[in-house]
Structure 1
């Protein structure tokens, strides 16, 4: 059945690949992102790119209203927009920490709140939140990023219970290592936070490891692989509540579940 699907963070990586797969399945897909120039190919494929900054409430409201005017409904919302802010807690400004939450959690909540009344009216819908295995684990110098993803996990669980009586599913996708520019961008920004810092030596080691991992590690999953799982979570008739996917996602989550905090500290500290 053809669905009206809205996806944020659609200008690159797994978000963009998910849009392509959904278009190929025959769905009406609205690809939302700040960079319209990066989505022209999606329009040529039959998608509907629209400019959106999820941190701007009026922009969110206008975009959702436009889609509903055109389609009369929204069947699926895929919350994929986000970024990783890395740095020692002592070094990252509270302003940057707030921005991390504004994009990764509050922006996501903003567009979800805008879409929910439409889904409730139709007594059906699905919210797919792209979290991370980082919502279950932690890594050196990733405190603010992990905080947003841990928060998203709990937020999504509460939302799932609240919306079930209205026929709305809430699904979480937890990617592991994915070969996208995300890692190198996060690593470069990490180095900037530690200039003349007490953490500089350790930060540089971690950042260099991240850059190597995201440029040389052929084991990382392709964006298409993770996109396929996002599509499944969005379209399967009876979805699971969570889908872990991508490089090392399931093994790492298994380890975290069964080892102590101190043991996991030791394990994760070996990587960077």
Structure 2
């Protein structure tokens, strides 16, 4: 039986690595992103690039219809696309906050809506939502990003229960620090939004933390891709998988610290031990 997978945010990083991993496992893989030109390498390897914009409903509908028209099924949806726009909550315009929710949460939810009828007809499927360790705890200047990931975690838990009768599973992946474009985007937005405001001295220190995390403790995206491929292949996958970049240890530490202890620890780390 030919198995089909749709991977979003596949022009680089975790999405690109996941598309390659699922292709190697025998899937017909559709790699989705806004810019098709950035997926020429995937196309050469046998992956099928498809244009997809998570803030354009018509784009999402067209992508899913194209896949179903060509293969007749969608077995795996990997909701990987997302970004981290940082800055003090007081400084970030609500327009930017809403856009981050559109991409990180509502886009993923809409794709779930679009693929679920086919998965129910097939009597099976896997939805993989790429969250973050940031879906379990906050950090200074990341309020909106963390809010999207907390929301994605809650959405995933509720959806997983709803889909029990249909044999469809929902899996959450919680990456730590990963060597992708994400860190650069978060760093730039933090400085742009708050680098010269009342929060400036603190935001600039925290931006340096993102730089250090991106070089010292970050794992390659292939680490996350292997975990996604393993989870999809499992007959009974776990509901959550920490992945790379110290994720397992950070999540473990959070379980044993009070909120105030976590606040103090995160602030000290944020400010370089200041």
Q: TM-score, normalised by structure 1?
A: 0.97
Query: Paired residue for 1:209?
Result: 209
Query: Paired residue for 1:235?
Result: 233
Does the 8 Å contact 1:2/1:28 carry over to 2? yes
For residue 21 of structure 1, report the CA deviation from its aligned partner. Answer: 1.3
What 5-or-longer segments of structure 2 have no aligned partner? none
Query: Paired residue for 1:7?
Result: 7
- Structure 1 residue corresponding to 2:259, chosen from 241, 261, 269: 261
Does the 8 Å contact 2:163/2:169 carry over to 1? yes
Query: Paired residue for 1:154?
Result: 154
* 1:77 counterpart SS class: strand
Query: Paired residue for 2:249?
Result: 251
* Distance in 1 of aligned mates of 2:31 and 2:196: 41
**Runs of 4 or more off by more than 6 Å in structure 1?**
none
Q: How does 1:137-216 map to 2 (within 5 A)?
A: 137-214=137-214, 216=215
Query: Paired residue for 2:23?
Result: 23
* 1:96 counterpart SS class: helix
Does the 8 Å contact 1:78/1:234 carry over to 2? no
* Distance in 1 of aligned mates of 2:86 and 2:184: 11
* 1:59 counterpart SS class: helix
* Distance in 2 of aligned mates of 1:195 and 1:245: 31
Q: Deviations over 1:106-151 (max 9, x none)?
A: 0111111000111111111110000001000111110000000000
Whether 1:51 aligns to 2:70 is no
Query: Paired residue for 1:80?
Result: 80
Does the 8 Å contact 2:52/2:59 carry over to 1? yes
Query: Paired residue for 1:123?
Result: 123
For residue 269 of structure 1, report the CA deviation from its aligned partner. Answer: 1.1
For residue 195 of structure 1, report the CA deviation from its aligned partner. Answer: 4.3
Query: What's the RMSD between the two structures over aligned residues?
Result: 1.1
For residue 2 of structure 1, report the CA deviation from its aligned partner. Answer: 4.4
* Distance in 1 of aligned mates of 2:113 and 2:138: 28
Does the 8 Å contact 1:190/1:207 carry over to 2? yes
Query: CA 1:205–1:195 in 2, change beyond 3 Å: closer, same or farther?
Result: closer
* Distance in 2 of aligned mates of 1:43 and 1:179: 22
* 2:88 counterpart SS class: coil
* Distance in 1 of aligned mates of 2:245 and 2:208: 19
Query: CA 1:199–1:54 in 2, change beyond 3 Å: closer, same or farther?
Result: same
